[in-house]
Structure 1
Amino acid sequence: MTETSFVRVGWLIDGAGGPVQENVVLKIQNGYIESVDPAYQDTTLNDRAVVDLSYCTILPPLVDCHVHLFMSAATDEQVRRKQLSAGYRELKPVIREHLHHLFSHGVLGVRDGGDRGGFVLRFRSENEMHPLVNLAVSGRAWHREKRYGALIGRSNGAERLAKAYLENVEPVEFVKLVNSGLNSLMVFGKETSSQFTAEEITELVAAAAANNQKVMVHANGREPVRTAVEAGCCSIEHGFFMGKENLRRMADRNTFWCPTVFTMKAYGTNLAPGAQNVDHRVIAGNMEHQLEQLAYARELGVQVAMGTDAGSLGVLHGESMVEEMKLFKKAGYSLVEIIRSATSVGASLLGIDSFGELVKGKHASFLVCRGTPAQLPRKLSYLEDIYIDGVSCEMYRKNPYKNVVAK
């Protein structure tokens, strides 16, 4: 039996990069968009059969391509230390709560960037998942012994990287590799050496591909990013101070980039002036340089997927997407370009086909924001509703983890 419904929309942003469409009607059949047509006065439709969202803007669900669900963005040092050493039993409700925060802010696609115990992977395997959030996981990241990365994974020890991976294959979509250190908050532009050679990473990429998995790489600085890109990794995470040549390589190879700019702004906001090993001028400089790289990536056509690093100091799950969008705007991205990075580009990176673009033939899944596009991205913090395959999920949004999904 064919189920047909109609939704009148004030403004539609398709997520594919097309212009904002004003005053349109969506015809939805069996959960898919059958057509998007201009609204008209002499309609033969019974007004009661048309959902009226003429006062709203709709857009595809958001995708955050870099989060850490086991961390809560706490700014209290003792709380963070306790959380970073907690076991699965303590972290299980934390992960569940973060998934609901993401959903309530319209983030229906998420990629977890790893944790030391593979807790998020275990959470998913136990069918604890939020039923409306598409979660891609990386399990435990790989790092060189005695180098940065123990917080989110394990080292390969004395073994060859690809061999260690093959002996410990996990049921994940992405293999996380750490190929540099953290950014200095004291020395502007300080770079660390690559943790692995291009040959080692190439071997890992090939081994992962044989298991239908892609490699995402934490990398800052010119050399760590260059080795990762040339080895054929799927995405660069962070990429601070990687330079224009690497951005050109990424554009040529269609390598995705998750710049996580808001992390630096959050450091600047939440670390007290005079704190040990912190120079706020350096933090501000790090952020400005990343914005310059983001602007250049836009010129080159790099596939920039929005990722927030939610769970990091002061970077809240769900809410931080709006903050990241604001920084994209500061880097020169238009609203439709920002939404594209936050929706269809991320969906492409994560392999999501159940949402991403609001065009004919695609799923009728979208966010509803009261007001005009000029009020975005701020209004994403106060969603009017979320539709999944043409059905409102407001009841579910207000009652997390209940059996009733739609009204």
Structure 2
Amino acid sequence: MTRIFLALFLFYGTIGHSQNVALKPRQNDGKIIWAGSMLDVTKGTIITDVLVVVENGAIIKIDSASQKDRYKGEDIIDLSDHTILPGLIDCHSHLTNPSFDGTIDVYELPIASYGILGTVYAKQTLQAGFTTVRDVGGYLYSDVALRDAINNDWVVGPRMYVSGKAITMTGGHGAWGNWMAPHLELEPNPGNPVDGEVEVRKLARTLIKNGVDLLKINATGGFGTANSIPGAASFTIDEMKAAVNEARKRGIRVAAHAHGADGIKNAVRAGVNSIEHGTFLDQESIDLMIENEVYLVMDLLAAHVSLLENKDDISKKAIDKGNQKVYDDYAINFNEAYQKGVKMAFGTDASIFEHGRNAKQFHLMVKAGMKEMDAIRSATTVAAELIGIEKTTGSIEEGKWADIIAVKGNLLNDITVLEKVDFVMKDGKVYKTPKK
């Protein structure tokens, strides 16, 4: 009897966490990619005429195309007119959040529909070349369910690392509903308002129990929540430490939603692993992030859409300056953090704009002062490091997962070619091929 219980524990105890990505045994699905060129993201160089041999979902050999005669009779994928690079990683997405594009009334949609829509958005994201996402905030564990559905091959989508519901305080970002809008007081409230170290700790434990891969805590107010001030700090350092300590005991990481400088500094001092947004960061917060090796995930695309493309009326009303100046200041802060040496990971806040449009942020990052190679690294090697999967993905190397995409053109001269991905392979399986 004891052995039976142990076996059940080992099975069900692992199925919830996406670190165990291959929930089914991989079949021998050997493939060989013949690429005209390959971007070595580690060295920052392009290698021409490459063969990448894939078996059982992993890269087992990288060879010269001059050796392709040795592989006659094998399944060779001809990308000789393409450049291959690692699958891209978006570290700030919301796949189970409907796009704020005016096509769906998000306040009238049943919560169950969020997970169903997530299957559509997941496919769009994968088709855009993003083979992995860190999903930071899903309604009622819809992101956990979507992650497991993808891992079990029920639906198509990127590899997901999920936080479940964000931890926020009463009146904080995401704590929707008030006496004027009681219909937004869903039960349980998706914003999970909690106050004090005891409540924060209990919610952190509940989230971990329910299978999340990381925790997200709202260290400041945010755009999109009525009466929430984006730049104002929310939780105290000790409250956030309660969540950080629970995460560390279980070997997972903590992301902090933080717009204002005070909240950013509080979150860093509490021990979080990443700052999300960082809209109003200052020199002291930049120095603290560098000193504590905290990653910064600045969503230039979401800011651009919200402020300049007239997609998000709530965000425009929340700021009393001209929208162009607010965006320009954000881009200046982005460049300042980059030039000072903050670890910058790629994240877009997908759902503020249409899902699948994520790669348009690369151009904005380069325009803000980041080198093309560093922008690509932010969505490959650096993003993998932030999540903690750098040993298995983030670069095309022997022994790593076969997460490979292909584009036409020189992406180091024109970063916008990443907006037109022709080929997508995740975990050795092909999900998109070039149109003939």
Counterpart secondary structure, 1:118: helix
| Pairing 1:195-344 to 2, within 5 Å after superposition | 195-267=234-306, 268-271=308-311, 277=317, 282-312=322-352, 315-319=353-357, 321-344=358-381
Deviation digits for residues 18-73 of structure 1 (CA, Å, limit 9, x no counterpart): 22223333355655445545544x87536775543221011111111111223332
Equivalent residue number for residue 59 of structure 1? 85
Q: Cα–Cα, structure 1 residues 163 and 74, in superposed 2: closer, same or farther, change >3 Å?
A: closer
With a CA cutoff of 8 Å and minimum separation of 6, indicate the structure with the bigger relative contact order.
1
Equivalent residue number for residue 133 of structure 1? 158
Equivalent residue number for residue 194 of structure 2? 156
Deviation digits for residues 172-220 of structure 1 (CA, Å, limit 9, x no counterpart): 0111111112259xxxxx8633211112212220112113332111101
Note if contact 1:368-1:383 (Cα within 8 Å) is conserved in structure 2. yes
**Distance in 1 between the 2:312 and 2:240 partners?**
38
CA deviation after TM superposition for structure 1 residue 392, in Å: 3.4
Does structure 1 residue 18 correspond to structure 2 residue 57? Answer: no
**Distance in 2 between the 1:110 and 1:129 partners?**
18
Counterpart secondary structure, 2:91: strand
Note if contact 1:111-1:136 (Cα within 8 Å) is conserved in structure 2. yes
Question: What TM-score comes out, normalization by structure 1 length?
Answer: 0.82
How many residue pairs align between the two structures?
384
Structure 1 residue ranges without an equivalent (≥5): 185-189, 399-407
Q: Which amino acid aligns with 1:106?
A: G
**Distance in 1 between the 2:275 and 2:38 partners?**
31
Counterpart secondary structure, 1:373: coil
Does structure 1 residue 95 correspond to structure 2 residue 118? Answer: yes
Greater shift, 163-172 or 197-206, is seen at 163-172
Q: Cα–Cα, structure 1 residues 368 and 271, in superposed 2: closer, same or farther, change >3 Å?
A: closer
Structure 2 residue ranges without an equivalent (≥5): 1-26, 177-189
Note if contact 1:244-1:293 (Cα within 8 Å) is conserved in structure 2. no
CA deviation after TM superposition for structure 1 residue 364, in Å: 3.3
Counterpart secondary structure, 2:328: helix
RMSD: 3.3
CA deviation after TM superposition for structure 1 residue 350, in Å: 2.2
Identity over aligned residues, as a percent?
25
Deviation digits for residues 215-265 of structure 1 (CA, Å, limit 9, x no counterpart): 111101111000101111011110111112212221222211110011121
Does structure 1 residue 118 correspond to structure 2 residue 157? Answer: no
Q: Cα–Cα, structure 1 residues 35 and 301, in superposed 2: closer, same or farther, change >3 Å?
A: farther
Q: Cα–Cα, structure 1 residues 125 and 359, in superposed 2: closer, same or farther, change >3 Å?
A: closer
**Distance in 1 between the 2:153 and 2:320 partners?**
40
Q: Cα–Cα, structure 1 residues 53 and 236, in superposed 2: closer, same or farther, change >3 Å?
A: same
Note if contact 2:53-2:60 (Cα within 8 Å) is conserved in structure 1. yes
Q: Which residue of 1, 6, 9 corresponds with 2:35?
A: 9
Q: Which amino acid aligns with 1:254?
A: E
CA deviation after TM superposition for structure 1 residue 289, in Å: 1.9
Note if contact 1:216-1:234 (Cα within 8 Å) is conserved in structure 2. yes
Q: Cα–Cα, structure 1 residues 392 and 210, in superposed 2: closer, same or farther, change >3 Å?
A: same
Q: Which amino acid aligns with 2:291?
A: D
Equivalent residue number for residue 403 of structure 1? none
Q: Which amino acid aligns with 2:334?
A: L
Does structure 1 residue 366 correspond to structure 2 residue 404? Answer: yes
**Distance in 2 between the 1:162 and 1:371 partners?**
49
**Distance in 2 between the 1:280 and 1:291 partners?**
18
Q: Which amino acid aligns with 2:247?
A: A
Note if contact 1:113-1:176 (Cα within 8 Å) is conserved in structure 2. yes
Q: Cα–Cα, structure 1 residues 367 and 142, in superposed 2: closer, same or farther, change >3 Å?
A: same
